[in-house]
Amino acid sequence: MVSKLLALEIYPNLKDLDFRILRGVELNMRHYEWVPLETIAKFARVDIETVSHRLGKLDNWGLVRRRSDIGYIGYQLTIHGYDALAIRTFAQKGIIKAISQTQIGVGKEADVYIGITPNEERVAVKFNRVGRTSFTRIKLYRPNLIDKRHISWLYVSRLVAQREYEALQLLSPIAKVPKPIAWNRHTIVMEFIDGVELIELTDTDLTEEEALEVLNKVLEEYKKIVEFGIIHSDMSLYNIVLKSNGDILIIDWPQYLTSAFPDARYYLKRDLQVLLNSFKKKWRVQVERSKIWKEFESSLQKSLKKE
């Protein structure tokens, strides 16, 4: 379902004080599940009455939520408030000057919109919307989170975005992945891609021969990435884009693992099984799986020797 970016609608109504208040809630959520009103007022350097009035508006707009049954009046930042802070940062840094309400990607845990740079170039702006699936996955590479008593979903969203940005920085010079431009909080700005995810294609959009050609491009690219030392670990038709020029891109990298990860071989094999099964089911593409796996195991071993 396509949804509008609420923070974008509210953005013109926000004052500098509102952003200071949102920032105060954000920073103090490290220490409080519900940030006390007095703490927010102190951070924003205004009196209680003024900050309470502005928080009331921010609450009505859906950027914060209020709770008063905990022995004090406390506030949390919502994902929409987090969106507003990220948009503000990108605007202040001159990375984007506008964002369209047109979505170019709607995932289970991320929404992607078209952004416009000061040079009038189109970019993709990806807002992570983390759920429990991502939290389970992120514990693989951030086990220290397990011991934290209070973990904000906003913080986990930030870690997911940071990890994907790092992966794109590593891979974009050597592989066909989106080129990263900037990262802030739970949001990544990257190159705009003129193409379509394979999951959106029907079984008649590609012939068997065309689908085999696409699969071979994906496999060759993925072998290069594995030899570099990175495993996607969530490969599927959702994460492969067929560009308008017939080339491919492999997208969505927040769950990547290194080849040195203890279960790397398992996740690599699962990636290949999902990929090959999908092409067989949708376009009746048959390949010699044992040969493909042998080639990927060789790439995996080469990456380990580089460690």
Fold (topology level) of 195-305: Transferase(Phosphotransferase); domain 1 (1.10.510)
Domain boundaries, the chain: 6-80, 94-191, 195-305
**Residues 141-187: tens digit of each pLDDT:** 555 554 554 557 888 889 889 999 999 999 999 999 999 999 999 99
Phi, psi of 111 (to 5 degrees): -120, 140
What is the predicted pLDDT for the residue at 1? 42
Is 234 part of the annotated catalytic residue set? Answer: yes
Residues 83, 111, 234, 252: which is the catalytic one? 234
User: What is the spatial distance between Cα 253 and Cα 110, in angstroms, rounded to a whole number?
Assistant: 12
58: Cβ contacts below 8 Å, ≥ 6 apart: 18, 21, 22, 64, 81
Note the Cα 165 to chain centre separation in Å: 8
Q: Which amino acid is present at 263?
A: D
Strands across the sheet with 187-191, in order? 98-106, 110-116, 122-128, 187-191, 180-184
Residue 3: pLDDT band (50, 70, 90) is: low
Task: With beta carbons less than 8 A apart as the criterion, state whether 220 and 192 touch.
Answer: no
pLDDT value of residue 106:
62
pLDDT mean across residues, the chain: 92
What's the chain's Rg over C-alpha atoms?
22
Nearest to 240 by CA among 220, 257, 260, 262: 220
**What is the per-residue pLDDT for 136?**
59
In the sheet that holds 240-243, the strands lie side by side as: 195-197, 240-243, 248-250
Give yes or no for a contact between 302 and 294, defined as CB atoms under 8 angstroms apart: no
Percent of the chain surpassing pLDDT 90: 82
Please indicate whether residue 247 or residue 104 has the higher confidence score (pLDDT). Answer: 247
Class of domain 6-80: mainly alpha
Terminal CA-CA length for the chain = 44
CATH topology of domain 94-191: Phosphorylase Kinase; domain 1 (3.30.200)
Answer yes or no: are the C-beta atoms of 241 and 196 closer than 8 Å.
yes
Q: What is the pLDDT of residue 151?
A: 59
Q: How far from the centroid of its chain's Cα atoms is residue 303's Cα?
A: 26
pLDDT average, residue stretch 189-196? 94
Q: What is the rounded distance in angstroms from the CA atom of residue 124 to the CA atom of residue 120? A: 13
DSSP β-bridge partners for residue 242: 196, 248
Q: Which of 138-147, 186-195, 202-211 is least confident?
A: 138-147
pLDDT tens track for 259-291: 999 999 999 999 999 999 999 999 999 999 999
pLDDT of residue 131: 60
3-class state of residue 258 by DSSP? strand
For 275, residues 6+ apart whose C-beta sits below 8 A from its C-beta are 215, 218, 219, 235, 236
pLDDT at 118 over 60: yes
Whether residue 25 has pLDDT greater than 60 = yes
